[in-house]
Chain A
Amino acid sequence: MEFIKLKQVSKEYSRKKVLEDVNLVIEEGDILGVVGESGSGKTTLLSLIAGFIEPTEGEVTYFSRIHQQERNLNRNIHQVKKHIGFTPQHNSFYPKLTVKENLLHFGRLYGLKDKTLLDNITGLLSLVRLMEHQNKLAGHLSGGMQKRLDISCSLIHKPKILVLDEPTADLDPLLRKDILNLLQEANKQGITIVLASHDLENVEDICNKVAFVHQGKVHTQGLIDEIKKPFQSDSFTISVRGKEKERIYRYLKSTNNPQIIDLGDSLVVYPDNIQQTISGLLKIIDQERLNLHDLNFRNVPLKNIFEKITGRN
């Protein structure tokens, strides 16, 4: 179900267009990764999604279950805020309050009843593994714990959508993994997640959808698998050893002389006509009874796709 839609949205700051003619759809249950370079307009896009700023042109809408219709997000921001969680890049809690006090504070401001709030806190603390540290001052927590607390603060009211700006920036790989797992857990609990990141591997790991932002425009958006499809058919990897590898290498070279990268136990092949090359290759393997260990159409990294799409190499 479409949850938030950006319709031909443009945003200007001091007459300078930061975003131009953006159309974006966020559906319930999505984990949308907003990918782009620094200054491409990611934060502005997130701010528009979260209702933090209003578009200069176009409209941001949300689907109201009560009204069973799309409604302008900015005009109804007060109602929408209850359903949005926002985690900026830097931590956003009170360092002088304890973990629990922070959660209680924000939860109460969201109007949660004490029982619900305490249940939410218990659930969140166990989810983010801060139960033991609930009475520690937030400022005294480690970087990873602080990030988890920050996300907890955004989740305390059980929002329908969680918007995160660079949630894994400045974190070491282990902590990054930790945070990504946390987001996946949250998503499993029915929270739609939108996150901006320039770490495409992370996006690829947890997001089902991606939007490439470049120079103020959304170039591509959609399911990652769908986006990858056209890029996946231009190469394959074949795992073979010894003489068999030499035979296959010679055969491949005898065809249209494709680009072949020797990785030792495997060869990465970039043929001109992949179907013709593979069918020819399978014939030789069958005829000569060669021992083929593995044949994979290569998983093209999202980074490469992004670079291709945005024209960067």
Chain B
Amino acid sequence: MNSLWLLTQKNLKVLLRAKGSALVVILAPLLIILILGFIYNNSDQYGIKVGIYSSSSNGEVEAFVNLLEEDNFIIQSYPPSPAGIDSCIKDIKSGLVHTCIDLPESLNLEGNSPAEVTFHVDPTRINLVWMIQETVGSKFNLKSQQISQELAQGIIDVLSETKDQINEKKSLLETIKQHSSAASSSTASIKESLSNLDLSSPAVSYANDPTAKINSAITESLESITEAQQKLENLTGSDKDEVTTLLGRAEDDLQAASKFVSGNASGSLDSFLIQLKMGLDQAVIKLKTTSEVVSSANSNFDSLTGTLSDSVAAMNDLDNSLNEIISQLESVQTTDAKTISSPLSIRINKVSEESTYLNYLFPALLILVVMFSSLMLGTTLVMMEKNSIAFLRNFFLPLRKISFIASIYLTNLILIVIEIVIILLISLFFLPGNLSQFPALALVLFLASSIFTFLGMGLGYLFTSEETGSLASISLGSIFLFLSGLILPLEGMSGPVRQFLMFNPFIIAENLVREIFLFNTPLGDLWIDILLLAGYSLVLFLIILVAESVLHKNLVKRFRKHYHHKHHETKKTV
């Protein structure tokens, strides 16, 4: 246990006495945290530049823009012409704006279709896309909620108005009800009166209708007479008898008819007429009563007519009111529950048409590989040379410092070129059809590689041990990576810091690769960034030259120290 502690103590001492190591191991993480903490210590600002395009400029658009501006979104408005949205999309590709919001002519809904808002985003900036969706989308949700509330409020207002109208017209129904009740009782009364009418026919029997009998007898008499007449024409002896008989018979019949007409016997015409008279009398009485009832009913009907008229009037009024309510309800155009709950629909439109995430990530991956390879290689190569036992001899070579620096740079570049060629060849397998962009890509990668190589070399000259140098280069690469927006969006930082970080060579190189690789932007449009990278390379090269001169002084010191240390050890041994 003791030995373990002793060894640990030794390790700590060795580590802390190597100033460079101590600095990197202890201070670098603190510094990174400090820098990142300082940069991301920002809660209320968004650096998202939002391009707003609407085919018509109106108050709603302005209200929405104001809503976005409240949260410090940077708004860039585009003219309401077809070229406006194209210009906005172009600016996304150039990185001048982060998203374009294509607003509909009006945010007020007409009908059941939700208003469609299109977000144009650069899918290569995946984290930014999410952030935009999160932040700008939340503003839209707010607006959507607002519209939804307005729609619901409209419906509620209409319903409230309808309710008032119904309350107001409710008395009409009461009136109609009373009138109907009165009409009902009048009808009942009429019904009762009518139902009490005796309209039964008098009990006159018409079964023994004498008329028929008379008629029959007379007919028969006539027939007999007729027949007798005929016989008389062809009269023979026998016939005479026969005529006599027949005539006698006619006589009988006629007598019978006579009896029937004048007799008192039941079924005689006379009794029949008496009965008939009595029946008629009864009928007259009944008709009289009926007349009275009808008269009464008539007056009831008059009253009923009045009541029904009133009812009709009330019902007309009610009908009007209902029509009014219906038209009010019909004035609510948005009735689809889905549209009311989500009146704005958001559509995300990717400005790049690539199909896989590899396309989007490729620029960042490429620069990432170039950055770390160059930084590490630059540091390692300088360290190798610096810590090589042959380093001192190099001083006595008749070469200028620049030759050594250039040789390290060239070595690094060759290795990086091999690496890049391999990556690009592999990328051709996954992303075919990008071969034509390789020359432009090569230029950008050459410049990026130069910058990171010089930085790596600078670290190599700065630090003494290879481990510390490597750690420093990884730390520096991590800082570049952290401050590139690849992991955490830069838009979460405060404005000045963000502006400053736009000069991060990683960001510049990544943007250039994206522009070339994904958007096929010609090099002529990217010359500022390319010049900036070239400028960085040049400045860093000059810094390296100075660093090398400083190193030479340091080298003399090291040489002396090393010599005396060795010498001292030798003497001790002797």
Contact = CB atoms under 8 A, between A and B. Distances in A.
Interface of A: 13, 38-39, 43-44, 47, 50, 52-53, 78-79, 81-82, 84-86, 88-95, 106, 109-111, 153-154, 165-166, 169-170, 198
B5 interface: no
Given A44-B560, A95-B389, A38 B396 contact: no
Given A110-B397, A166-B567, A93 B389 contact: yes
Given A90-B566, A165-B563, A170-B570, A153 B398 contact: no
Contacts of B570: 169-170
Contacts of A38: 564, 567-568, 571
B366 interface: no
Nearest to B395: A52
Contact of A94 (B390, B564, B566, B567): B390
A222 B388 CA distance: 37
A78 B398 contact: yes
Interface residues of B, number: 24
B562 to A, nearest CB: 7
- Interface-central residue, B556, B563, B570, by most chain A CB under 10 Å: B563
Contacts of B17: none
Contacts of A166: 567
Contacts of B560: 13, 43-44
Cβ-closest 10 pairs across A and B = A92-B393, A81-B398, A38-B567, A86-B396, A109-B397, A43-B563, A82-B398, A94-B390, A92-B392, A92-B390
Interface string B199-218: 00000000000000000000
Contacts of A84: 396
A140 to B, nearest CB: 14
A52 to B, nearest CB: 6
Interface string B361-402: 000000000000000000000000000111111011111100
Contacts of B396: 50, 52, 81, 84-86
B556 A90 contact: no
A79 B396 CA distance: 11
Interface string B531-574: 00000000000000000000000001101101110111011000
Interface of B: 388-393, 395-400, 556-557, 559-560, 562-564, 566-568, 570-571
A155 B543 CA distance: 34
Nearest to A84: B396
Contacts of B390: 92-94
B574 to A, nearest CB: 9
B556 to A, nearest CB: 6
Given A82-B398, A170-B570, 11 more contacts: A38-B564, A38-B571, A78-B398, A81-B396, A88-B393, A89-B563, A91-B389, A92-B390, A93-B393, A169-B567, A198-B567
Given A106-B397, A109-B399, A88 B564 contact: no
A96 to B, nearest CB: 9
B389 A92 contact: yes
Contacts of A39: 564, 567
Given A13-B560, A44-B560, A88-B559, A106 B566 contact: no
Contacts of A95: 389
Contact of A52 (B400, B556, B568): B556
A111 B566 contact: no
Contacts of B399: 109
Given A38-B567, A44-B560, A94-B388, A106 B393 contact: yes
B567 A153 contact: no
Given A47-B556, A90-B562, A111 B393 contact: no
A74 B557 CA distance: 18
The residue in B392, B393, B560, B564 that gathers the most chain A C-beta atoms within 10 A of its C-beta is B393
A153 B556 contact: no
Contacts of B567: 38-39, 89, 166, 169, 198
A87 B567 CA distance: 16
Contacts of A93: 389-390, 393
A43 B561 CA distance: 11
Contacts of A90: 389, 562, 566
Contacts of A110: 397-398
Contacts of A165: 563
A106 B393 CA distance: 9
B393 A86 contact: yes
A170 B566 CA distance: 10
A217 to B, nearest CB: 18
A78 B398 CA distance: 6
Contacts of A53: 556
Contacts of B398: 78-79, 81-82, 109-111
Nearest to A93: B390
Contacts of A198: 567, 571
Contacts of B400: 78
A78 B399 CA distance: 8
Nearest to B553: A53
19 contacts: A13-B560, A43-B559, A44-B560, A47-B559, A50-B396, A52-B396, A78-B398, A86-B393, A86-B396, A89-B567, A90-B389, A90-B562, A93-B390, A94-B390, A110-B397, A110-B398, A154-B393, A165-B563, A170-B570
A78 B401 CA distance: 11
A39 B568 CA distance: 9
B329 to A, nearest CB: 92
A93 B396 CA distance: 13
A85 B395 CA distance: 11
Contacts of A82: 398
Contacts of B564: 38-39, 43
A111 B399 CA distance: 10
Of the listed residues B396, B400, B563, B564, the one surrounded by the most CB atoms of chain A closer than 10 A to its CB is: B396
A180 to B, nearest CB: 18
A38 B556 CA distance: 17
A50 B557 CA distance: 16
A13 B388 CA distance: 25
A11 to B, nearest CB: 10
A141 to B, nearest CB: 13
Of the candidates B397, B399, B400, the one having the most CB atoms from chain A within 10 angstroms of its own CB is: B397
A81 B397 contact: yes
Specify which of B390, B395, B559, B570 lies most central, judged by the most chain A CB atoms within 10 Å of its CB: B390
A81 B399 CA distance: 9
A69 B347 CA distance: 86
Contacts of B562: 90
Contacts of A47: 556, 559
Nearest to B568: A38
A169 B568 CA distance: 12
Contacts of B395: 52, 86
Contacts of B563: 43, 88-89, 165
Q: Which of B398, B556, B560 has the most CB of A within 10 A?
A: B398
Nearest to B391: A92
A12 B565 CA distance: 19
A82 B399 CA distance: 10
A210 to B, nearest CB: 19
A43 B571 CA distance: 16
A95 B395 CA distance: 18
Nearest to A54: B556
A153 B391 CA distance: 13
Nearest to B403: A109
Contacts of A50: 396
A86 B568 CA distance: 22
B563 to A, nearest CB: 5
B380 to A, nearest CB: 14
A170 B569 CA distance: 11
Contacts of B397: 81, 106, 109-110
A88 B397 CA distance: 14
